[in-house]
Every structure is written in C-alpha cells, then in structure tokens.
Amino acid sequence: MLTVEGLSSAYGRITVLHEVSLTVAQGEIVALVGSNGAGKTTLLRTISGVQPLTQGRILFDGRPIERMPAHTRVGLGIAQSPEGRQVFGPLSVEDNLRLGAFRRQDAGLAERLAQAYAMFPILKDKRAIPAMSLSGGQQQMLAIARALMAAPKLLLLDEPSLGLAPLLVDQILNAVVSLRDQGMTILLVEQNASAALAIADRGYVLETGKMVHQGAAQSLLADPKMRAAYLGL
C-alpha cells in the first residue's frame, strides 16, 4: 500500500532523514521505533505531506504522492493522528470528530461517528463537552477516532502511548490491534519499542535519520542487539 524509497527530508539546511526506505502492506501494523529525535515524526509528517522531502519517492497504492499537497493525500486515504494529540480544546468531542471527517460530510458520516463511539464508548458519554476537559488517555482516543473519521485506508499514528499510564497504553494498543483485525493498515510510531513491536507485524528502527534495522516484529523483539539497544531488556 505504501512504499517510501530513498526519502530525505530537511529543516532548513539540516538534513534529518537520510535516504530512508520503508514499505507497509495492506492489513499490516508496521512499527517505526527509535530513540528521541531519530526522525520518526518527521517521516510520518513527510508521508502525510505536511513536511516536504528533499529527495526520494512516496508511492501510495502504486502512485507517486510526494508532490501532492497534504489535503489531497487525505482524500486518497492517508490520515495521521499527530503526536501530543492536538485535539481542538475548546470544541466539543463530537465537533472534533466531525472536523476529522474532512470533505466526507456524506451519508456515511453518521455511521462513522457511530463506529468511533463503538470503539471508544467513553467519547460518546462525553460527546458534548470540550475536548480539553478530557483526560490524556481520552484525548488520545479522540485523536485516533478523529483520524478514522476521514475513512482512511492507511492510518499514521504518532506516539499514541506518550504520557499515558500503563493500563491506558494497553487499552490504546488493543484498540490499534482491533483496527488492524477489522482490515485497517497502520504505521505506528513509538518510543515505547517493546509495546509497539509486541502488537506489530513488522518493524523498522530509525537512528539519527537512518534506517538501521528492519524485520518481522517477533525477530526484532528476540534480537539480542535490539534488546540491549532499544528494548531496555
């Protein structure tokens, strides 16, 4: 579904991604892990189109998208749930969800709202209150549900476990697994490498802007070098 080939990206004159390549097949959870500042968020932002690339190609369903504006990519089926949740605080939970629907204000909207509430029932209970009144975990649920309102084919998730208590991390990651089980394709960025690889099909490790490891999630989890360097085991 997604092929990133030899992609480089820079902030001004500082290149932070150096010819990285990655693929995501339909129906997979692919985890992108690596330490703080490795370039994970930049790679997601380059795929969704809010950060330009300086080199390389991005193919989505076989077609080059790297020169398309971000909104065109959303229309094709790529939605991102950003790091730090970034919900619209003063707006109600339901208005946040409606905004996620982007240009798809169609007959399917009510159905997608119902699906979002079925996935995270707490959001239905709190649908009329301002998003800023939600707890961190609930805001994370809202950010994911908002991305899903665009009815994407590929969901880009940036650090969904950031700042959450372990129980909530499990709840969020279980929701990611059930999305995959329903057919969604997911590229998951996480600093919590063990948790991400535990639910992923395949994984990539980014280190100071370069892809240094890749493979089946289970083999990465079992690799002694990975365990020492990234998994804290």
Name the residues that contact ligand ATP, by CB under 6 A: 11, 16, 34, 36-42, 83, 191
**Cβ distance to ligand ATP smaller for residue 127 or 210:** 210
Closer to ligand ATP at the Cβ: 27 or 56?
56
Our CB check for ligand ATP shows the closer of 19 and 95 to be: 19
Beta-sheet pairing, 29-33 with 185-190: parallel
Q: Which is nearer to ligand ATP, 66 or 158 (CB)?
A: 158
Give the list of residues 6+ apart from residue 100 with CB closer than 8 angstroms, or none: 79, 145, 146, 147, 148, 149, 150
The side-by-side arrangement of strands in the sheet containing 63-64 is 14-24, 2-11, 55-60, 63-64
Residue with tokens 């989890």: 221
Q: Measured from the CB atom, is 34 or 137 closer to ligand ATP?
A: 34
**Alpha helices in 86-216, H assignment, sequence order:** 93-100, 108-119, 121-125, 136-148, 166-181, 193-199
Q: Least distance (Å) from ligand ATP to the CB of residue 83?
A: 6
Cβ neighbours for 72, distance < 8 A, ≥ 6 positions apart: 49, 65
CB of 131 to ligand ATP, least distance (A): 22
State the chain's maximal CA–CA distance in angstroms: 51
Distance CA(224)–CA(233), nearest Å, equals: 9
Say how far apart CA 152 and CA 1 lie, in whole Å.
12
CB of 11 to ligand ATP, least distance (A): 3
Backbone angles phi, psi at 212, to 5 degrees: -105, -20
Residue 162 CB, shortest distance to ligand ATP, in Å, is 8
Contact 20, 209 (CB under 8 A): yes
- CB 187 to ligand ATP: min, Å: 13
Whichever of 11 and 224 has its CB closer to ligand ATP, that residue is: 11
CB of 29 to ligand ATP, least distance (A): 18
